[in-house]
Amino acid sequence: MKKIPFGAIFFVIFILLVILIDLPNNQRIAFSFGPIKVDRTIHTPQINVNLFGRQFQKTFETKLGLDLRGGSHLLFEADTSDIAQSDIEGALESARNVIERRVNFYGVSEPQVQTVRSKDAYRISVDLPGVESVDEAIKLIGQTAQLEFKETGTASAELQQIATQSPQLAAMLAMNTPTGLKGTHVKKATVQFGQGSGDNLGAPSVQLEFNSEGAQLFQEITRRNIGKQVGIFLDDQILSAPTVQQEIIGGTAIITGQFTIDEAKNLALSINSGALPLPVKLIEQRTIGPTLGQEAIDKSLFAGVVGLVSVVLFMILYYGKFGIIATIGLVLYGLISYAIFRLIPVVLTLPGIAGFILSIGMAVDANILIFERIKEELRKGKSFDVAMRLGFGKALDAIKDANIATLLVAFILFNPLNWSFFPQFGLIKGFALTLTIGVLTSFIYGYIYYTPINGIFS
């Protein structure tokens, strides 16, 4: 009796895990077949484990975009009164980028953030998929978020009285002198570990990086405030008031303290989200439903299913046992790709689904190419096992070249470096992302799937 290869066992376990990730969220399944009766609810699959003292939690769910799920629409008007005419376009585009980054920091994926000009008014339109509460959306973005650094000014009689009871509170209240250092001078804030000393050694801290102008301002501020606190304010609400230990040169500063990981992350998030180059005012807010409508979504899915079933029937009828093998492979490939979408997770829009279906079509092309190469070798009089090896090898080279070309186009469409001469729209990026994941998954999985097939039929 032959032993079952370890690779086959691993593959079966892997597919079972994929199916577990793909299970629908909180769906009730009820049916009966003779004596067999099933009535249970499938809960959202999730991972909740403790590794090395840290808790890891992951819930697998399908995230839908604005066109499939709906969300919130906000329209902001930018105050350009203090901006030179020649700098308005640049400041508005910078504000758009900051708002998009701010939304992404809060975990809202695939936002559509666009600049709109109406006569002499400059506006920023924000669509947030899945955020059904307009108040929540406003809270995520903020209306006039302005980040600035303040130092201690002259204490009033009231503050002097408070100082006798709470010196720390009095110092914070006395931070009313703007330094000229604002959010526009902050390049980014990140969470770091191991920057503290003594009891704080290894504790989380927040690192600030300033641009060249901000670095010079910050150096001057720290020079005159050694031993004093400098406050970081967002919309006049204090975020942090670190004490300056020494003059800081080079534009990089570390904020240390008794931070938990969440506190450090929230501080970095607040600083990053506050770097808005000009004030904005909310002028319109509303909740919107799916732009395509359920009927259009159902028809699109039905068309996709009909197309895939037609392809499967063609492959089985034309290629016989190879068609059956390819069909099984395509089903498993679809399950794996969908699991990856839920694992990352990828926000699915209709263009994103189109990208996924296109990748399935490319997988079908790859199968056909493999089969035709095998048939060519058979027509040359080669034995079946030799034809299998040669056909698969020759087809693999062509498939690899085609996939590289597709990935290059997907890279241009996704535009990860935000080049202005390439597309920068969320829906196009969604198409490019699902296409990229689908092509990579198809190539890697196809190689793993067909390699043992060679051994089975040879």
Percent over 90 (pLDDT), the chain: 7
Residue pair 366/322 in contact (Cβ under 8 Å)? The answer is: no
**This prediction's pTM:** 0.61
Bigger pLDDT: 115 or 300?
Answer: 115
Q: Write down all domains in the chain, each with its CATH number in brackets.
A: 6-59 (no CATH), 71-145+280-288 (3.30.70.3400), 147-273 (3.30.1360.200), 293-457 (1.20.1640.10)
Question: CA 274 to CA 266: how far, in whole Å?
Answer: 12
Within 8 A by CB and 6+ apart from 253, the residues are: 207, 208, 210, 218, 222
Within 8 A by CB and 6+ apart from 304, the residues are: 353, 357
For residue 345, is the peptide bond before it cis, meaning its omega torsion is within 30 degrees of 0? yes
CA distances from 414 to 191, 371, 408 (A): 28, 33, 10
Range list of β-strands (E), 46-111: 46-51, 54-59, 63-64, 71-78
> Which of 41-45, 49-53, 362-366: highest mean pLDDT?
362-366
Question: CA 374 to CA 369: how far, in whole Å?
Answer: 9
pLDDT of residue 405: 93
Range of weakest confidence among 232-246, 319-333, 398-412, 425-439? 232-246
- The residue to which tokens 């209709």 are assigned: 350
- Residue type at position 217: L
Range of weakest confidence among 49-53, 65-69, 341-345? 49-53
Range of weakest confidence among 40-49, 329-338, 377-386? 40-49
**Residue 232, token pair as written in the block:** 């970081």
Q: Is the pLDDT of residue 65 over 70?
A: yes
Residue pair 209/192 in contact (Cβ under 8 Å)? The answer is: no
Question: CA 192 to CA 198: how far, in whole Å?
Answer: 16
Range of weakest confidence among 75-84, 235-244, 274-283? 274-283
Strands 63-64 and 347-348: parallel
CA neighbor of 127 nearest in space, from 75, 179, 202, 89: 75
Backbone φ and ψ of 14, nearest 5°: -60, -45
Torsion-angle region of residue 385: left (phi > 0), alpha (psi -120 to 50) or beta?
A: alpha
pLDDT per position as a tens digit, 159-218: 455 545 555 555 555 566 888 888 778 887 888 876 555 555 567 888 888 988 989 999
Backbone φ and ψ of 418, nearest 5°: 55, 45
